[in-house]
Chain A
Amino acid sequence: MDPESDAAHYSASLVSVQKEEPLGVSGADRARARNAVPPLSVAELERVRNREPEALAALFDRHFDLVFGLAMRLMGDRTLAEDVAQDVFLKVHRAANRIDPSRDPAPWFTAITYNACRDVWRSGAWRMSRRSRPVDEDPGFGVPLTRGTNDPEDDALASERARLVQDAIRRLPEALRTPVVLHDYQGLGHPEIAKLLGVNPAAARKRYSRALTALATILEKTLGEAGR
């Protein structure tokens, strides 16, 4: 998908979805807050269009975590996430002169990141790597070394739990993994996810529901085993 059309397509929808889906659940708020990116000003985005180094650096700093985090959660592999991030920023750089300064570029980044991940999933190299590597032996799930608790045992438990959750996400088929990551990790609403996936909102919602059921089943098993 063309980066510019991605922007036009998703930018407005993000705002409208946020209005129609007030998230009263604290977890959802956390998810959205975690990925909230303070938008660049119109003036800064104008400078991005001119590819001024300082403006590009600011754009990078604002959106790198969003891109890398989403890629990590969708791909479940640090190296692949780095490749995806590089691909995304290359595309953004090429399309920088077409950015609409009146719109927040965050949804555009989300769309490009998802599309880059989808391209990897469709590639033969991905299928080959998935066959050749056990899914539960990649340590690169990127939880912070400390969660600020100053309690090594708590940190270790949290780290292990995050690893198991990420592993469970990765065990989902891509069609189910995407809605659950976009909704619960990235904080997107179902209409946005539907547009991203090219399906209607009801289908996106249903897919998310199935994903959550499958994920719960996997987690019940893995977290149960870890607890024993």
Chain B
Amino acid sequence: MNANETETLTAAESGARDAVRDLAVPVADPAFRARLREQFVTDRFVPASSRVVRLPWHRRPMTSWTLAAAAAVIAVVSALALNQGPAWQVVSGHGAGIASVDGRSVSLGHTGDLVRRIHAGAHVTLPTDSDLELRAGGSLLMQIAPGSELVIPTVPGRWFMRRSLGELRSGEVRITTGPEFHGSRLALATPEARVLVTGTTLAVICDSTGTCVCVLDGAVRVGATGDSMPKVEAGMRAFVYADGRPMVQAGMRPEEIPELRRMRDSRTGSPHAPGH
């Protein structure tokens, strides 16, 4: 810095410059100095600490990237694991027939086998003299009527992936949603219809003529496959014909009401092994 530049400095800058210039030469540890001198003179250097020894260039980024990738994988796996909703549990079962779960015959009287095989996505066919009630934590309660064939719905995730999918191929299921279902969606497919549930109590009945959806409370969207899905209000039922006629809505069948009410009121009950 020449004299002209010196003149442009502020007092603070000038003071800072002088403060640095006034710094004394730091005094090294005499033992360190003597040791390094000995090493230098005799060429017996000991490797410096790891803070100065640098890894080869191709290893450092690899290490960083590997750690970052591993951390990301762990984070994703942990998030997916923690996000999983509650598993389906068997609340009750009536009848002693043989059900089919994922193509395997399971005796409804054989509690352990049934509990072990029931899971989200399982393909279940009940005999005509047996029913089953399942619960997924505080999220979903589902009754499966005798003779029904269905794919057990997935359970919504706790924080994300909150869409649940299931399929009723024939028979009847009654579904009521619990407080943990809030904000989730259950899409239930039948051969001719789609039912979208966002928080309600309903029955879905599927036979050869079509699909009937009875809504006890809340609201459900129902429509033929590939068609629009109008809302079906509480106390109403919608019928989607298998032969392609337009969907019709009417008042709910009286015989469904007590069954749905009973199920809605019992959804706080605890799960247990199937009875006879």
Contact = CB atoms under 8 A, between A and B. Distances in A.
B48 A57 contact: no
B18 interface: yes
Given A60-B37, A81-B26, A53 B42 contact: yes
A169 B20 CA distance: 8
A213 B1 CA distance: 14
Nearest to A24: B3
A141 B20 CA distance: 13
Interface in B55-101: 60, 64
A165 B19 contact: yes
Contact of B20 (A72, A92, A126, A181): A181
Contacts of A87: 48, 52
20 contacts: A27-B17, A57-B37, A60-B36, A61-B37, A68-B33, A82-B28, A87-B52, A89-B39, A89-B40, A116-B52, A119-B54, A120-B51, A120-B52, A124-B60, A129-B51, A184-B17, A185-B20, A205-B5, A219-B12, A219-B16
A183 interface: yes
A106 interface: no
B37 A64 contact: yes
Nearest to A187: B21
A28 B21 contact: yes
Contacts of A73: 23, 26
Interface stretch (A6-14, A38-46, A97-105, A142-150): A142-150
B228 interface: no
A135 interface: no
Interface of B: 1-3, 5-6, 9-10, 12-13, 15-29, 32-33, 36-37, 39-43, 45-46, 48-52, 54, 60, 64
Nearest to A123: B54
Given A86-B39, A144-B27, A219-B16, 14 more contacts: A27-B21, A35-B25, A51-B43, A69-B26, A79-B49, A83-B51, A85-B28, A90-B45, A93-B43, A124-B60, A147-B24, A162-B24, A183-B1, A184-B20
Interface string A125-141: 11001000000000001
B26 to A, nearest CB: 3
Contacts of A162: 22-24
B40 A56 contact: yes
A216 to B, nearest CB: 4
A147 B29 CA distance: 17
Given A86-B36, A212-B9, A216-B15, A68 B52 contact: no
A184 B16 CA distance: 10
A196 to B, nearest CB: 16
B39 A142 contact: no
Contacts of A123: 51-52, 54
Nearest first, the 4 closest Cβ-Cβ pairs linking A and B are A142-B26, A27-B21, A216-B12, A83-B52
Contacts of B1: 21, 28, 183, 190, 205, 208
A76 B72 CA distance: 35
B43 A212 contact: no
Contacts of B25: 34-35, 65, 69
A30 interface: yes
A34 B29 CA distance: 19
Contacts of A85: 28, 36
A107 to B, nearest CB: 18
A116 B6 CA distance: 31
Nearest to A166: B23
Contacts of B42: 53
Contact of B40 (A24, A28, A93, A119): A93
Nearest to A64: B33
B28 A142 contact: yes
Given A86-B48, A120-B51, A123-B51, A212 B41 contact: no
Given A162-B24, A219-B12, A56 B52 contact: no
A162 to B, nearest CB: 6
A21 B51 contact: no
B6 A25 contact: yes
B116 to A, nearest CB: 49
Contacts of A141: 26
A217 interface: yes
Nearest to B6: A25
B34 to A, nearest CB: 10
